[in-house]
Amino acid sequence: MRILFYQDPPNILSTQLTWTLGQELVLRGHDVHFAMPKIEKVKRGSIDWVRGGGENSWDAVKLARAIGAKVHIHLEGVGYWRIGADFADNWGVDPLNDQDIEAWKSYYRSWMSAAYEADSCSVNGQNQIDTIQRVLFDGRGMKNCHRISCGVDARYGLTLPEVYKRGNYIVTVSRIAPNKRIMKLAEAMAMVHPEIRPPWVVVGYGKPKNIKTFGRYCEEHGIAIHAASAYGAQKWMWIKRARLMLQGWNGIPPAEGLICKTPVLSYGHEDIVELFGQSISFAEDNNAKDMSVKIENLLSKNYNERVLWGKKFLLDGKLYACTQEQAAAKYEQIFMNS
């Protein structure tokens, strides 16, 4: 099967998730390309499936139709705080006014509507599917829509050496952005008793304004932080050696924590609960005080049996969260049966 990912090739500063997904499809015997070619440059019949998403979704549909290929649109997700499906102040961001919300709804509709013209589509989870259909498209169901969660690069992660002594730090892998609830995590860390609070390693990137706000808050509250824009192996080693992984709202890192046998604590947003069930620990959604109490409880434990249970369920395909290998198998099934 010949598959075109309608996007620029991932670069070293990206998460490279689509690249590793593509590589898994190659390992399954398929021909995979990453490009955004002009229609006249692609020979008709040379591609079987075009996978598109984001702002280029309609261009992916047009290309596929012109060259006689089928097209799949992946709807990466929708920002609840931007469409009014969830209150903005629950995310630790400034509430949007009605005009902003309508503008964001129009933006999402402008490209997510391509899913209705595609041969198939996918979204990270049922909660996301329901939100997109209900809030953006008046409840109109998307045809041939599949739940495919973010995939963790387990083939790489499982080759990491064992760690017999963990470092004395908490790790968070996340963009430093309000919607990732990074400030809500900082509020919780500020409440952890200073005598037992280890340094906090935050692996990610963000806009200068957000990084400055986050850094200033941590400094004012005596939270020792190390901001690491690490990728690849270095990111994995930060996770592998940590005592605890702390997450606000992010679908991929908890699975990385499970692969590394690192306990994971997250705010209990519906999306994350759907993906991970009881394989990780949860604090009450957006409740910084409850998060701080859970942090202290987990730091007092030397062993978390839930971690091994969660890793097994992830690798056995029993969680909505999945590995890239499992995601590739799902795409193969969709493409070959459509």
Half-sphere exposure of 168 (CA within 13 A, CB side): 6
pLDDT higher than threshold 70 for residue 156 = yes
- Residue holding tokens 């994995």? 236
- What is the side-by-side strand order in the sheet with 49-52? 31-35, 2-6, 49-52, 70-75, 120-123, 145-147
Query: To which H or E segment does residue 226 belong?
Result: strand 225-228
Does 2-150+322-337 match 154-315 in CATH topology?
A: yes
Q: Was domain 2-150+322-337 assigned CATH 3.40.190.10?
A: no
Contact 84, 106 (CB under 8 A): no
- Phi/psi at 228 (nearest 5 deg)? -120, 115
Per domain, the residue ranges of the chain are: 2-150+322-337, 154-315
Query: Which whole number is the average pLDDT over 281-306?
Result: 90
**Burial (CB count <10 Å: 0-12, 13-18, 19+), residue 151:** buried
Residue 140: how many CB atoms within 10 A of its CB? 10
- Looking at residue 304, its amino acid is N
pLDDT higher than threshold 70 for residue 15 = no
Q: Was domain 154-315 assigned CATH 3.10.580.10?
A: no
Enter the tokens of residue 149.
């969660």
What is d(CA 296, CA 306) in angstroms, rounded to the nearest whole number? 17
Of all residues in the chain, the percent with pLDDT exceeding 90 is 75
Average the pLDDT over each of 50-59, 93-102, 212-221, 278-287 and give the range with the smallest value.
93-102
207-264, pLDDT tens digit by residue?
899 999 999 999 999 999 998 777 778 889 999 999 999 999 888 999 999 999 999 9
Global pTM reads 0.91
CA dihedral over 154, 156, 158, 162, signed as positive or negative: negative
State how far Cα 60 lies from the chain centre. Answer: 22
Contact 307, 263 (CB under 8 A): yes
Enter the tokens of residue 56.
């280029």
- Looking at residue 272, its amino acid is I
What is d(CA 44, CA 38) in angstroms, rounded to the nearest whole number? 12
CA distance from start to end of the chain: 13
- Contacts of residue 115, defined as CB under 8 A and 6 or more positions apart, other chains included, come to 57, 73, 75, 121, 142, 145
Of all residues in the chain, the percent with pLDDT exceeding 70 is 97
Of the candidates 202, 196, 238, 228, the residue with the CA atom closest to the CA atom of residue 217: 202
Of the candidates 249, 125, 251, the residue with the CA atom closest to the CA atom of residue 184: 249
pLDDT higher than threshold 80 for residue 46 = yes
pLDDT higher than threshold 90 for residue 44 = yes
**Virtual CA dihedral for 107, 113, 119, 124, nearest 10 degrees?**
60
Distances, alpha carbon 208 to alpha carbons 137, 178, 218, 246, 248, in Å: 35, 13, 15, 22, 20
- Looking at residue 124, its amino acid is N
